[in-house]
Amino acid sequence: MSNPAPVLVTQDGPVLTITMNRPEKKNALTHAMYGAMADALKRAADDPAIRVVVITGAGDAFTAGNDLGDFLNAPPHDGEAPVFRFLAALSTAEKPVVAAVNGLAVGIGTTMLLHCDLVYAARAASFTAPFVNLALVPEAASSLLLPRRIGHAKAAELFLLGGRMDAAQAEAMGLVTAVFDSQVLAAEAASRAQALAAKAPGAVRATKALMKRGEEPVAERMRAEGVLFAAQLKSPELREAITAFTEKRAPDFSKVSS
């Protein structure tokens, strides 16, 4: 009997789901797993039929972080390493990425969430970033993004002391979008991913791009919004949205190019 794939990639209509599938190791991530996830994100980027990506874990863990034995045997040394390919693909993804954190999220299991657009967590989920405890430093630009998200003091507690945050705390501080009971988490995340995939894809991507531009003068942001707003006014998406409104039906963007 062959071993199951350590990363499962499944598609349900416009939603692609990436499942870290090494539950006996709490989904600890290897070079091969990073490569598979990077490839899946590229598939999502290249396929116009895929509009949303979901990332989750098998079993009772999201991921225990990097498989340290795998990384010590072959440390990543350049931008072509699988871990860096994955982080580059995730951080630059134009389409929405939804995380369903079903349990333990250690190290990159927490820091990758900073690049996801919606993060749903099980009540039993926990978040830790014990880099310093392992004589390491944070990655995935988390030393910049986490203090911005939750404040310097709370980020320092996670990074410097290796502190732990539960799901309720993570939701209160804005790291997590919403918390659900474990038995309904997957269904709730999938439902929201499908709802997001049903929206005008060009408008969704443009809105995400605006939100990721970072700090800039108000007037500059207004100009950027104006350019994209004007483009959407001329789009087939808008015509479908207006037609659906006047016909008192839900819009169908499945056949609208963007």
| pLDDT for 77 | 75
| pLDDT for 258 | 58
| pLDDT for 2 | 62
Q: What is the pTM of this model?
A: 0.94
Q: Are 153 and 128 in contact (CB under 8 A)?
A: no
Q: Provide DSSP, 201-226.
A: HHHHHHHHHHHTS-S--HHHHHHHHH
d(CA 18, CA 199): 21
| pLDDT for 133 | 94
The string of pLDDT tens digits covering residues 225-252 is 999 999 999 999 999 999 999 999 999 9
Percent of the chain with pLDDT over 90: 91
The string of pLDDT tens digits covering residues 94-117 is 999 999 999 999 999 999 999 999
Percent of the chain with pLDDT over 70: 98
- Mean pLDDT score of the chain, rounded to an integer? 95
| pLDDT for 143 | 97
Classify residue 217 as exposed, middle or buried by CB count within 10 Å of its CB (0-12, 13-18, 19+). exposed
Place of tokens 């980027």: 45
Bridge partners for 56 per DSSP:
19, 100
Of residues 110, 114, 194, 188, the one with CA closest to residue 148: 114
Task: Summarize the confidence of residues 27-47 as an average pLDDT.
Answer: 97
d(CA 208, CA 8): 26
Q: How many CA within 13 A on the CB side of residue 64?
A: 13
| pLDDT for 191 | 98
| pLDDT for 3 | 76
- Indicate the pLDDT class of residue 46, thresholds 50, 70 and 90: very high
Classify residue 113 as exposed, middle or buried by CB count within 10 Å of its CB (0-12, 13-18, 19+). buried
The string of pLDDT tens digits covering residues 163-204 is 999 999 999 999 999 999 999 999 999 999 999 999 999 999
Task: Summarize the confidence of residues 53-79 as an average pLDDT.
Answer: 90
| pLDDT for 177 | 98
Helix (H) or strand (E) holding 23: none
| pLDDT for 175 | 97
pLDDT higher than 80, residue 78: no
The string of pLDDT tens digits covering residues 113-144 is 999 999 999 999 999 999 999 999 999 999 99
